[in-house]
Amino acid sequence: MKFFKNIFKNSYFRKLYLKDKFLFGFVLLFTVAAILVNFTRLETSPFFLWKLYSERYYPKEEYNIYEIRFNDGDLLDLKHTWNSPQHEFLTGPLDYYLSVKAKNGMDPWQNYLENYWAVKHQAFKSIVHGLYNHASQFEAFPQWYRKYLSQIEKKDIKNIYVLNKKIRFENDGTVNEISSDTLLVIK
């Protein structure tokens, strides 16, 4: 018991207890709750999502990738860097926009938020409408995308072509293109 007293005597918790009892109680309660959540594996979004990256990624026969061309066929070639927000801002919103177009303009979050989340959290039902994108925001995307690509490429972009390429990795490591279809044209 003396061992634990000596540890507690010089600890952060003792100093906090002596300085501010209310804050000590809050930190202690939060710490105990965090430990309990970890042991029970209770998912408390957005803090603890246990299965977020835990599924195995199996190889596929073929993969879909986007190829972005602009103006007179220039290929958007983003070099790998450790600071890659440009890549994320060019591919993430594009992928999202294309998925919404494939679902006839319905934001995938809309169904989840209105039919699942708002049902479980009735107190927030009135704000759900503002948590997903609407048709006017999707209509503005092509011009925003062209403007952003112009900033990245540092030249005027007149048109953009987004191709969906299906590829296959061979056993020797080579990549074979199976097909190429135009998904989006921005003029």
Asked if 147 contacts 156 with a C-beta cutoff of 8 angstroms, the reply is no
Amino acid in the structure at residue 116? Y
98 and 165 inside one domain: yes
174 and 97 inside one domain: yes
Number of H helices, E strands in the chain: 7, 4
Q: Which of 101, 91, 40, 37 is nearest to 67 (CA)?
A: 91
pLDDT at 98: 92
20 and 90 inside one domain: no
51 and 69 inside one domain: no
| Mean pLDDT of all residues in 40-60 | 74
- What letter does residue 116 receive in the DSSP assignment? I
Q: What's the number of domains the chain is made of?
A: 2
| Mean pLDDT of all residues in 67-95 | 85
110 and 156 inside one domain: yes
Classified as helix, coil or strand, 133 is coil
Helices 21-40/12-19 angle, 10° precision: 140
Element (H, E) at 161: strand 160-169
pLDDT at 41: 75
pLDDT at 83: 63
Asked if 32 contacts 38 with a C-beta cutoff of 8 angstroms, the reply is no
pLDDT at 168: 95
| Domain-ending residue, one of 58, 79, 98 | 58
Residue 15, domain extent: 1-58
pLDDT at 13: 86
Amino acid in the structure at residue 95? D
Question: Please, which pLDDT band fits residue 47 given cuts at 50, 70 and 90?
Answer: low
25 and 5 inside one domain: yes
74 and 149 inside one domain: yes
Is pLDDT larger for residue 55 or for residue 186?
186
68 and 119 inside one domain: yes
| Mean pLDDT of all residues in 148-168 | 93
49 and 101 inside one domain: no
The lowest-confidence range among 38-47, 91-100, 111-120, 129-138 is 38-47
- Cα dihedral 57/60/62/68 (nearest 10): 0
Highest mean pLDDT among 17-31, 39-53, 105-119 belongs to 17-31
Q: Which residue has the tokens 């299906």?
A: 166
24 and 101 inside one domain: no
Asked if 107 contacts 132 with a C-beta cutoff of 8 angstroms, the reply is yes
| Mean pLDDT of all residues in 36-47 | 74
70 and 89 inside one domain: yes
The lowest-confidence range among 19-28, 39-48, 90-99, 120-129 is 39-48
63-70 and 175-186 beta bridge pairing: unpaired
Summarised one tens digit per residue, pLDDT across range 103-143 is: 888 888 888 888 888 888 888 888 888 888 888 889 999 99
18 and 69 inside one domain: no
pLDDT at 20: 94
